[in-house]
């Protein structure tokens, strides 16, 4: 059972583990574990083992009962505290999760003599790595990094610790650091498997071609990303995540045809898995969905299919601003300004209902439509007066953003009103100079 606990702390989310274990392929034969408990009902290890069996089979309530029984039998049972903490983490109860974890850490510290000694035991469920995840879940990212690095120091031959750091740095938009730790983990894993290729080719490992390709994509190195992602797709031709990542490479390279081609392959794989286009594309949380397919068709100039996909996205998510904006842009790309404007207004109306007013909606720059995106729409439609109004409003709300002043200047220049264009470009320069001095 130690393998499960280590996985739950370092590699796979508990929810994913739970769904895997609930499948027939992962079903656990509970009879031997139940027999051990029957023979010795006061054995905490037997109780914990049975609890994990229930957990693996998706029987969470029974699992929780056994974990608590194990803890009642041995109040200093560190692994039982960790098991209960993990259960509450999965339930989204962060407070109880932390309470059980810290009680387990206190018990381990009491047993080992110090907190450092307790956390250094990487065979225990409570260790530097699991503590790092607790801290990260609590928003203490810097302290979490210290724990993850301590895990590497305590257990330097375990590639999983390096992969954890690679993932964390990637999530924090630090791809260079992520790549550094990925390569260290890859080198360590290569010593175990015999070669880097053997490690990267194992698509069930977190240190694989897909993960490396994504890192290079984050680093804006599309050629290296393409090389690794092509290897991933070669190994798993219907890997939707790999195909979508490969499509992003071609988008970054400006190859709209290949971008669409890879997205179509991903869509075909999803349809094969789910049974129909609707089933495959309706889950907007997946990398290939109505919205992402709409963007792919639009990039390739297939506006009819782009609009069809975006409308399907709105059928699933009626308040999806990105879908409204994409439809508006697709019409505008075809010089169908009136249709585009109509969809822009639909987007604005939907957002205004949520925000309370049109002004509040336009003033919210965290999502579209806003003053800036509306200005860009009118500018492209050569409606320069309206565009200038939007950009000027944006400048009032964000006076330290020089791009707003530059956009107003462009609007006036397009109307040959060069005196006003010069006035606004001077404002943009003033803002930039002020920033450079601060």
φ/ψ (deg, to 5) at 282 = -75, -20
Got the DSSP string for 312-337? HHHHH-TT-HHHHHHHHHHHHHTT-H
pLDDT at 438: 74
φ/ψ (deg, to 5) at 253 = -85, -5
Neighbouring residues of 109: CB distance < 8 A, sequence distance ≥ 6? 115, 117, 118
CA dihedral 396, 402, 404, 408 (to 10 degrees): 100
**Structure tokens given for 355:** 């925000």
pLDDT at 74: 96
**Structure tokens given for 403:** 């791009």
pLDDT at 437: 84
Residue 364, sorted as left (phi over 0), alpha (psi -120 to 50) or beta, turns out to be: beta
pLDDT at 436: 87
Q: How many Cβ atoms sit within 10 Å of the Cβ of residue 388?
A: 24
- Cα(395)–Cα(270) distance, integer angstroms: 44
Task: Give how far Cα 295 sits from Cα of 43, 226, 306, 329, 412, Å.
Answer: 58, 20, 7, 10, 32
pLDDT tens readout for residues 367-394: 999 999 999 999 999 999 999 999 999 9
**Structure tokens given for 344:** 């822009």
- SS (HEC) of 71-83: HHHCCCCHHHHHH
The set of long-range contacts for 61-67, using a CB threshold of 8 Å and a minimum separation of 24, is: 63/87
pLDDT at 26: 58
pTM for this prediction: 0.79
| Number of Cα atoms under 13 Å in the Cβ half of residue 420 | 15
- Cα(246)–Cα(260) distance, integer angstroms: 10
- Cα(81)–Cα(147) distance, integer angstroms: 19
**Structure tokens given for 271:** 């349809």
The closest alpha carbon to 312, from 272, 266, 341, 281, belongs to 281
Quick check: 196 and 186 in contact, CB under 8 A? yes
CA dihedral 150, 156, 161, 167 (to 10 degrees): 90
φ/ψ (deg, to 5) at 39 = -70, -40
Is 370-438 CATH 3.30.70.2080?
no
pLDDT at 111: 93
Query: Tens-of-pLDDT digits for all 438 residues of the chain?
Result: 333 333 333 333 444 344 434 444 457 899 999 999 999 999 999 999 999 999 999 999 999 999 999 999 999 999 999 999 999 999 899 999 999 999 999 999 999 999 999 999 999 999 999 999 999 999 999 999 999 999 999 999 999 999 999 999 999 999 999 999 999 999 999 999 999 999 999 999 999 999 999 999 999 999 999 999 999 999 999 999 999 999 999 999 999 999 999 999 999 999 999 999 999 999 999 999 999 999 999 999 999 999 999 999 999 999 999 999 999 999 999 999 999 999 999 999 999 999 999 999 999 999 999 999 999 999 999 999 999 999 999 999 999 999 999 999 999 999 999 999 999 999 999 999 998 887
334 by Cβ neighbours in 10 Å (0-12 / 13-18 / 19+) ranks as middle
pLDDT tens readout for residues 105-152: 999 999 999 999 999 999 999 999 999 999 999 999 999 999 999 999
* H runs (alpha helix) in 317-437: 321-333, 337-355, 358-363, 371-380, 384-397, 402-414, 418-437
Indicate the helix (H) or strand (E) that contains 234: helix 222-235
**How many Å is the Cα radius of gyration of the chain?**
27
How is the chain split into domains, by residue range? Answer: 370-438
């Amino acid at each position: 059972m130690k393998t499960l606990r280590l996985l739950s702390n370092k590699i796979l989310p508990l929810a994913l583990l739970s769904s895997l274990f609930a499948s027939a392929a992962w079903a656990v034969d509970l009879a031997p574990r139940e027999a051990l408990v029957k023979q010795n009902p006061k054995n905490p290890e037997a109780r914990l083992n049975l609890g994990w069996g229930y957990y693996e089979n998706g029987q969470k309530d029974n699992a929780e009962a056994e974990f608590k029984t194990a803890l009642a039998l041995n109040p200093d049972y560190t692994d039982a505290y960790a098991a209960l903490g993990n259960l509450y983490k999965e339930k989204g109860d962060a407070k109880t999760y932390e309470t059980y974890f810290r009680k387990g850490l206190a018990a381990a510290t009491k047993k080992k003599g110090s907190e450092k000694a307790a956390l250094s035991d990487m065979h225990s469920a409570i260790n530097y790595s699991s503590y790092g995840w607790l801290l990260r879940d609590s928003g203490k990212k810097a302290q979490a990094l210290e724990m993850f690095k301590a895990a590497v120091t305590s257990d330097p031959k375990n590639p999983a610790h390096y992969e954890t750091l690679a993932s964390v740095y990637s999530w924090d938009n630090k791809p260079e650091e992520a790549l550094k730790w990925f390569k260290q983990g890859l080198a360590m894993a290569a010593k175990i498997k015999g070669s880097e290729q053997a490690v990267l080719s194992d698509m069930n490992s977190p240190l694989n071609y897909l993960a490396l390709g994504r890192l290079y994509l984050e680093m804006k190195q599309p050629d290296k990303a393409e090389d690794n992602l092509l290897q991933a797709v070669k190994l798993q031709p219907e890997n939707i995540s790999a195909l979508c990542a490969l499509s992003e490479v071609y988008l970054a390279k400006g190859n709209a045809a290949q971008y669409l081609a890879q997205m179509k392959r991903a869509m075909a794989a999803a349809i094969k898995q789910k049974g129909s286009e609707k089933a495959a594309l309706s889950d907007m949380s997946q990398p290939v969905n109505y919205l992402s397919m709409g963007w792919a068709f639009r990039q390739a100039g297939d506006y009819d299919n782009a609009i069809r996909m975006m409308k399907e996205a709105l059928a699933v998510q009626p308040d999806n601003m990105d879908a409204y904006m994409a439809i508006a842009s697709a019409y505008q790309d075809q010089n169908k300004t009136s249709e585009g404007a109509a969809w822009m207004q639909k987007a604005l109306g939907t957002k205004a209902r949520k925000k309370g007013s049109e002004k509040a909606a336009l003033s919210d720059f965290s999502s579209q439509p806003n003053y800036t995106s509306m200005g860009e729409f009118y500018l492209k439609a050569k409606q320069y007066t309206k565009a200038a109004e939007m950009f000027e409003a944006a400048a009032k709300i964000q006076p330290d953003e020089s791009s707003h002043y530059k956009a107003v200047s462009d609007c006036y220049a397009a109307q040959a009103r060069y005196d006003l264009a010069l006035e606004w470009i001077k404002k943009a320069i003033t803002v930039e100079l002020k920033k450079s001095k601060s």
